[in-house]
Amino acid sequence: MEISVVIPVYNEEENIYPMVDKIEESFSGKFKEYEIIFVNDGSYDDTYEKLEKLKKINPHVKPYHLIKNSGQSAGIDLGFKKSNGDLILVMDGDMQSDPEDVFKLMEYIPNYDMVNGKRATREDGFKRKLASKIGNGFRNFITGDNIEDTGCPIKLFKRKVVKSYILFDGMHRFLPTLAKYRGFKVIEVPVKHFDRIYGQSKYKVFGRGFKAFKDVFAVRWMKHRLLKYEVEGE
């Protein structure tokens, strides 16, 4: 399998069909093999029904359904475990990212293990931009990292990076940092970002602040507690 696309979704019924159409338009004829993995995070709208219909008519679409809403880290973790690609692309299901950007990210794969998107422009409004800027700055100060947009929804990984992760709730915010802690080479590349057309954002601007505040200290603790050893002759 050349590439797997992992898309966690929660109540995105209006975006499911356009999302698949856009990915097919971008990938068809350019990858010999690809799969589109949707992780339905306990949606209560028609997300389930639409994914099940797509599965029957499009062999690339592989949906998985969580019994209850478990959060984005859980969705990404399951998507990683179910993926078969040599490369794994993570995207949100809100149509604010362009799957065509994968080809820009792939240009860096020969020399890097993970390519993190960085929204060249953000179509989220002033409050969300401000919260993101403050959050990224604080996160980098505590973890010693320099990633400017860890919340960018589009990211590309080599399979070995995905296999190295042991994720906990909230850790989706630290994927580039955790990859670096494991010794992988990470780069950040500008990508496109669009206004949301359908549905509503699932994130409150400052609602995640306290939780993220605690998580960042957990990640710093991990930095100094990761097992690091070499075996003679290997």
230 occurs within a structural domain: no
211 occurs within a structural domain: yes
233 occurs within a structural domain: no
19 occurs within a structural domain: yes
What is this structure's pTM? 0.82
234 occurs within a structural domain: no
**How many distinct structural domains can be found in the chain?**
1
- Residue 100 is part of a domain; what is its CATH number? 3.90.550.10
231 occurs within a structural domain: no
Q: Evaluate whether 35 touches 80 at the Cβ level (below 8 Å).
A: no
66 occurs within a structural domain: yes
Along the 234 residues of the chain, how does pLDDT read in single tens digits? Answer: 799 999 999 999 999 999 999 999 999 999 999 999 999 999 999 999 999 999 999 999 999 999 999 999 999 999 999 999 999 999 999 999 999 999 999 999 999 999 999 987 655 554 555 455 556 555 565 555 667 787 899 999 999 999 999 888 888 888 998 999 899 999 999 999 887 776 666 555 445 555 666 677 666 677 667 777 678 876
Helix (H) or strand (E) holding 88: strand 87-90
Q: Evaluate whether 89 touches 6 at the Cβ level (below 8 Å).
A: yes
What is d(CA 18, CA 21) in angstroms, rounded to the nearest whole number?
Answer: 5
User: Burial of 214 by CB count in 10 Å (0-12 exposed, 13-18 middle, 19+ buried)?
Assistant: exposed
